[in-house]
Amino acid sequence: MTTPSVTRRLVLSGLGLAGASFALTGQLRASSAPFIKVARSAGCGCCLLWGKHLEANGFRVEMTERNDMAAFKAGLGIPSALESCHTGLVDGYVVEGHVPADAIKRL
């Protein structure tokens, strides 16, 4: 029985496969990160900070500024007494206000 010899081509092929594997793993992690759409009141700074908090905790955040927040929230069924300056939509849930990222992940 002969022992296969290690050639430069074999080593380079293995390195190429390993690189592709690492790249794919990174893509899977990015695509499996929770996605949240955030609607925020025009000019509000705390909403941006909440978005940064979510991103720092692994969320992919799409933030849009709206001038019709009251109507938007009413359309989602949020009672006016519970309204905040921003609303998040994630996996079919409505998240109102400064809800910590860990609590959203538990949803």
The model's pLDDT over 50-84, given as tens digits with 9 standing for 90+, comes to 999 999 999 999 999 999 999 999 999 999 999 99
pLDDT at residue 6, rounded to an integer: 53
Look at residue 105 and give its three-state secondary structure.
helix
> End-to-end distance of the chain based on CA atoms, in angstroms?
58
**pLDDT level of residue 99 (50, 70, 90 thresholds):** very high
pTM: 0.68
pLDDT at residue 28, rounded to an integer: 42
Distance CA 67, CA 11 (A): 59
pLDDT at residue 14, rounded to an integer: 46
Q: The tokens of 65 are what?
A: 């500024």
Span 18-44, pLDDT tens digits: 444 444 444 444 557 899 999 999 888
pLDDT at residue 87, rounded to an integer: 97
Report the amino acid identity of residue 30: A
Distance CA 97, CA 107 (A): 15
1 has a pLDDT exceeding 90: no
Report the amino acid identity of residue 52: K
pLDDT at residue 23, rounded to an integer: 46
Q: Rounded to 5 degrees, what are φ and ψ at 8?
A: -60, -40
Mean pLDDT taken over the chain: 81
